Structure 1
Amino acid sequence: MRGAFPYGPGQRQALDELLKSCTEGTIGPLPSGAPDRERWREWGLPDRVGRPWYDVPWLWSESYFYRRLLQAVGWFDPGAWQGIDPFRPFKRAEPDAPETDAELAALDALPTLPEPERACALLHGSLWGNRADLGFRLSAEGAEAQDPVPALVADDSAALWSQLPPGGAATLVLVADNAGRELVPDLLLIAHLLAEGRAARAVLHIKPYPYYVSDATTADVVDALHRLRAAPGVAGDYARVLWSAMADGRLTVRAHPFSCAPLPYDRMPDDLRAEFAAATLTVFKGDLNYRRLVGDRRWPPTTPFAETTRYFPGPVAALRTLKSDVITGLSPATESALVAAEGRRWRTSGAHALVQVALKWPGAEAT
């Protein structure tokens, strides 16, 4: 990251001090003039100042590290570097890669498929991101590899589609994860749902500032839209759907501060809870969002997904490639097969994914 921009001596020194703090020192406070100082106080910073970084919950320390990194490079401070995303060069490289051209060109085969198959292909593209060739080569024949252990370890797709039938008036909330070649298929899925009447309105939640290197911000959404608009064929058609939907309000972009909170979603503020409660379906993308959704802890893998999300105020879904130890909602047979075939590696290799949905849990909070 240091080589991505010509940072000056002050920024380089601040980055060195942050590194030393993480490896040898303790958690320090935010500057007195930090715009989000009060918010971090509410998120537990005063109780953690002076403690080693590895002596606090991992989710909390990860989030605070990225907040301090932005402080070090001048994101929040008045001056020439204010608002400059330190990760932007890495994010921009993906949409401009030759592989992206091939993936977008594959979209041109979609019109030959029935609508349910197109929807499924785009869902799988969003699920797998840049590992899926956007999922556009799915067909009725051979769509799933016939391996002893399936790539998709949990699949509640039928429940997801039950919330988004054609011709409905659904409001979809999608909580995005990464930028670049993972954000593009998220946008394509939204475009399809709007164009085919599976959603009347969509809300895309992104991060209010750079976070976890690749997480999507508003600038990344704009980059992805421009990349789609420049593409020929079906990709360009979907771009026009998205552009029009943003112009007339059917698609809105939200950057809620809690999206960068070091806390699980059961601690969400009231305004965000009300928004999720009003949605027909809220979809959480990616590994970090999954950890925050179910709680960043070592659940027994067979713990029902609906149980870990029973606090959630409305129907909720997770689209996630497995890249961390946190996992819920597996059948005993699937867990046994994964362990027998791969030991513990299946939890973090990114070779497996899941679609999980919780529509209602007995005794859950009323919406």
Structure 2
Amino acid sequence: MSGKREPRTMAEKTAHHTDDGSGSGLCPAPEHSAQTILSNDPGSFAWSVLANRHPALIQQVRDAFPYGPRQHQALDALLDANNNGVIEPLAPSEPDHEQWSVWGRGLFGRSWFDAPFLWAESYFYRRLLGATGYFGTGPWRGVDPFAPFKRAELRGTAVDEELRALDALADVPADERATALLHASVWGNRADLGFRVTEGDTAPSTAADDLVADDSVLLWQLLPSGADATVAV
């Protein structure tokens, strides 16, 4: 037997030397990808959204409007499915049935808690709108079930304070004002109706600290000063 080691292939060099059950003693290196967030870990944020927030939203919507028996029955069914049942596809008569069938392939029949969190959250709101008759042909068609809560928040003092902070931006240089407004748009969802624009937030290094990626340079190239265009952030 020769004392020289045979040269290894690139696949062998990059493989983990653990047994994969085939007898080769080699397992391919695991792929480095983000883990899918589910809602089946009690105490996690995703779990709390499905276990606590979704039932509260259903009750809130139910109490806000004089819905009829059909809407109440549909909301009760959604609550039971969220808490104890499984994800069901939309009825074939729904206009977006085919699209959601594609998006939900492999997920229908699972517990809501065992589906990817972001998908489950989106589909929950679709089912909630459907339960209230938003997509139907009756009197509730197109009626936003969250409209009363949105109007109440927009009339709150917190919004007035944030708008006053925006007024203060009139006295800062144009580039700093643009950066502050961009950050306000980016963080608006995280702060609900708060713009996250306060005194001192005009510096580029403050509101940008938590950004995963900053494509603002590209944005300003696509939206030059004075351009007649609208950008949804």
Place the TM-score, normalised by the shorter chain, in its bin: 0.5 to 0.7
Residue pair 2:132, 2:145 contacting (<8 A) in 1 also: yes
Partner of 1:183: none
| 179, 197, 200: which one aligns with 1:135 | 197
Distance 1:112 1:90, change over 3 A: same
Partner of 2:95: 35
- Aligned counterparts of 1:140 and 1:41: Cα–Cα separation in 2: 45
- Aligned counterparts of 1:58 and 1:39: Cα–Cα separation in 2: 19
Q: Identity of counterpart residues, as a percentage?
A: 47
Residue pair 1:117, 1:139 contacting (<8 A) in 2 also: no
Aligned-residue offset at 1:98: 2.1
- Aligned counterparts of 1:104 and 1:26: Cα–Cα separation in 2: 44
Aligned-residue offset at 1:125: 2.2
- Local SS of the residue matching 1:153: coil
- Local SS of the residue matching 2:210: strand
Distance 1:119 1:8, change over 3 A: same
Aligned-residue offset at 1:153: 3.2
Aligned-residue offset at 1:82: 0.9
Are 2:144 and 1:85 aligned? yes
Aligned-residue offset at 1:79: 0.4
Partner of 2:179: 120
Aligned-residue offset at 1:10: 1.9
Aligned-residue offset at 1:69: 1.3
Are 2:62 and 1:2 aligned? yes
Residue pair 2:89, 2:101 contacting (<8 A) in 1 also: no
Are 2:211 and 1:202 aligned? no
Distance 1:10 1:154, change over 3 A: closer
Residue pair 1:28, 1:50 contacting (<8 A) in 2 also: yes
Distance 1:140 1:102, change over 3 A: closer
Residue pair 1:75, 1:82 contacting (<8 A) in 2 also: yes
Partner of 1:14: 74
Are 2:114 and 1:55 aligned? yes
The amino acid across from 1:24 in the alignment is N
- Local SS of the residue matching 1:2: helix
- For residues 220-262 of structure 1, the C-alpha deviation after alignment (integer angstroms, 9 at most, x for no partner) is xxxxxxxxxxxxxxxxxxxxxxxxxxxxxxxxxxxxxxxxxxx
Residue pair 1:122, 1:134 contacting (<8 A) in 2 also: no
- Aligned counterparts of 1:18 and 1:155: Cα–Cα separation in 2: 35
| 198, 209, 216: which one aligns with 1:152 | 209
- Aligned counterparts of 1:120 and 1:10: Cα–Cα separation in 2: 48
Task: Extract unaligned runs of 5+ from structure 2.
Answer: 1-60
- For residues 144-192 of structure 1, the C-alpha deviation after alignment (integer angstroms, 9 at most, x for no partner) is 5xxxxx98234765x5235415xxxx25xxxxxxxxxxxxxxxxxxxxx
Aligned-residue offset at 1:133: 5.6
Partner of 1:26: 86
- For residues 184-208 of structure 1, the C-alpha deviation after alignment (integer angstroms, 9 at most, x for no partner) is xxxxxxxxx7xx43x542243xxxx
The amino acid across from 1:34 in the alignment is E
- Aligned counterparts of 1:100 and 1:61: Cα–Cα separation in 2: 30
- Aligned counterparts of 1:156 and 1:55: Cα–Cα separation in 2: 29
Count, aligned residues: 169
Task: Extract unaligned runs of 5+ from structure 1.
Answer: 145-149, 172-192, 205-282, 284-367
| Highest RCO, 1 vs 2 (Cα 8 Å, sep ≥ 6) | 1
Aligned-residue offset at 1:85: 1.0
Partner of 2:220: 164
Distance 1:40 1:139, change over 3 A: closer
* TM-score normalised by length of structure 2: 0.60
- Greater share of strand residues, 1 or 2? 1
* TM-score normalised by length of structure 1: 0.40
The amino acid across from 1:160 in the alignment is S
CA RMSD of superposed structures (Å): 3.0
Residue pair 2:87, 2:112 contacting (<8 A) in 1 also: yes
Aligned-residue offset at 1:57: 2.3
- Local SS of the residue matching 1:118: helix
- Aligned counterparts of 2:175 and 2:208: Cα–Cα separation in 1: 21
Q: Please give the residue correspondences for 1:208-287 in structure 2 after superposition, counting only pairs within 5 Å.
A: 283=233
The amino acid across from 2:76 in the alignment is D
The amino acid across from 2:220 in the alignment is L
- For residues 7-49 of structure 1, the C-alpha deviation after alignment (integer angstroms, 9 at most, x for no partner) is 122211211111111222222232231111111122234x433
- Aligned counterparts of 1:57 and 1:128: Cα–Cα separation in 2: 23
